[in-house]
Amino acid sequence: MKLVFLGPPGAGKGTLAVLVTEAYSIPHISTGEIFRAAIREKTPLGLKVQAIIDAGQLVSDDTTIELVKERLAKSDAKKGFILDGFPRTIPQAEALAEIVDIDSAVNFDIDDELVVKRLSGRRVCKTCSQNYHVDFMPPKVEGKCDKCGSDLIIREDDKIEAITKRLEVYRKQTEPLIGFYREKNKLTDVDASPSSGTVFESFQKLFPQK
C-alpha cells in the first residue's frame, strides 16, 4: 500500500500515520525523517543536505526528490509506505510519479476553524517538553506540567498568527495537489474532524488489509 498523506497542519496526519504504520506494517516517511536519516547515515546526499542546512539555505526540489527516491529504494518500503510532507507542490508530485506509482493520495479534510482550535490549544512544558491541550488533554493544574510542575508555554508555531500563516501557505502551495490527484483518480477523502480513533476506523474501511 503506497500512500501519500495530504492535509493542513493540525489535521492529525502524524497521529494517524502512527496507527497505520503499526496496523499495516509499512513505514511512515516524512520529509524531515528522510533528511535526518540521510544526514545520520552520511550518504553522499546526506552530506550535501547537511552542507545546505549549515549554510542556512533551503533544500532544493531536485535534492529533496533524490532523497525521496533513495529512501523509497530501501527494503522496508518495498511493500508499501506513507509519504508525509512530500510532495508539497505539483512539480514534486510529477517527479514522484516517475519514481513510483502510488495507490492513493489520502486527503485529510478539515475546516480551518477546527485546525486553529486544535493547534492554538496546544501547550508544552518548557522543561520536559510534555505536550498538553487545553480542551482535549488539559493538565491537572492549569498552566503547570503534571510531570515536573514547570510552566506550560505556547510554542511560536501554535500562536494564532502563525497558524493562520501556515494555513495560507498550505492552501496556496499544497492544496492544488488535491486537484492533481483527483484528476488521476488517485484521491481518497477522509473526514479528519472526528477523534483519531474514528478517523482510523474510516481509514480501515477505505483501505482494508489484504
Looking at residue 157, what is its pLDDT? 85
What would the pLDDT profile of 46-84 be if each residue is shown by its tens digit? 898 889 888 888 788 888 899 899 899 999 999 999 999
Please report the DSSP string for the chain in residue order. -EEEEE--TTS-HHHHHHHHHHHHT--EEEHHHHHHHHHHTT-HHHHHHHHHHHTT-PPPHHHHHHHHHHHHTSGGGTT-EEEES---SHHHHHHHHHH---SEEEEEE--HHHHHHHHHTEEEETTT--EEETTTB--SSTTB-TTT-PBEE--GGGSHHHHHHHHHHHHHHTTHHHHHHHHTT-EEEEE-SS-HHHHHHHHHHHS---
Kindly name the residue from 48, 69, 88, 117 that is annotated as catalytic.
88
**How far is residue 183's CA from residue 68's CA, in Å, rounded to a whole number?**
24
> pLDDT tens track of the chain, all 210 residues?
999 999 998 898 888 998 999 999 999 998 888 888 888 888 888 898 889 888 888 788 888 899 899 899 999 999 999 999 899 889 999 999 999 999 999 999 999 999 999 999 999 999 999 989 998 889 999 999 999 999 999 988 889 999 999 899 888 888 899 999 999 999 999 999 998 899 999 999 999 987
**Cell triple for 151:** 510552566
Looking at residue 170, what is its pLDDT? 87
Query: Exposed/middle/buried for 132, CB within 10 Å: 0-12, 13-18, 19+?
Result: buried
Looking at residue 68, what is its pLDDT? 92
Looking at residue 43, what is its pLDDT? 87
Domains of the chain with bracketed CATH? 2-26+79-206 (3.40.50.300)
Q: pTM above 0.75?
A: yes
**How far is residue 193's CA from residue 199's CA, in Å, rounded to a whole number?**
8
36 is catalytic: no
Residue type, 92: Q
13 is catalytic: yes
Kindly name the residue from 118, 122, 123, 186 that is annotated as catalytic.
122
Residue 184 in contact with residue 27, Cβ under 8 Å?
Answer: no
123 is catalytic: no
**How far is residue 14's CA from residue 165's CA, in Å, rounded to a whole number?**
20
88 is catalytic: yes
Kindly name the residue from 2, 117, 144, 166 that is annotated as catalytic.
166
Looking at residue 142, what is its pLDDT? 94
